[in-house]
Amino acid sequence: GQNIDQPTEMTATEGAIVQINCTYQTSGFNGLFWYQQHAGEAPTFLSYNVLDGLEEKGRFSSFLSRSKGYSYLLLKELQMKDSASYLCAALDSNYQLIWGAGTKLIIKP
């Protein structure tokens, strides 16, 4: 079966760095997405990785290891507005997104 695993909840301090991990098992693989979702709102796109390695975009970076079925989202210089759920989603062989349950990130002052 297809499966995405990510931690349910994480807590970090404002100004610090946090890494949210995601492991996936899918039938075929065409890339991995990270989305941010604030409570009561729709998800917004953060990143897309299809090749191994690290993609940096401002304070956010995303890493992929296809051989390990593993990705992480790295958030630097955390701000209170970064408190949200972070969704990992893998694109399978049919180009359908397989969603993780999301990681709720709580930022404390």
Partner 1 sequence: GAVVSQHPSRVICKSGTSVKIECRSLDFQATTMFWYRQFPKQSLMLMATSNEGSKATYEQGVEKDKFLINHASLTLSTLTVTSAHPEDSSFYICSARSSTSGDIYEQYFGPGTRLTVT
* Site residues for partner 1 per CB under 8 A: 30-31, 33, 40-45, 48, 50, 87, 91, 95-97, 99-102
Q: What CA–CA distances, in Å, run from 43 to 35, 51, 64, 67, 95?
A: 6, 23, 21, 27, 18
CB nearer to partner 1: give 40 or 109: 40
How far is it, in rounded angstroms, from Cα 6 to Cα 8?
A: 6
For partner 1, the closer of residues 16 and 50 by Cβ is: 50
Shortest Cβ 9–partner 1 spacing (Å): 10
Q: Nearer Cβ to partner 1, position 76 or 96?
A: 96
Measure the N-to-C terminal CA separation of the chain; round to a whole number of Å: 40
Least gap, CB of 75 to partner 1 (angstroms): 19
Report the C-alpha gap between 24 and 41 in whole angstroms.
25
Q: How far is the CB of 45 from partner 1 (least distance, A)?
A: 6
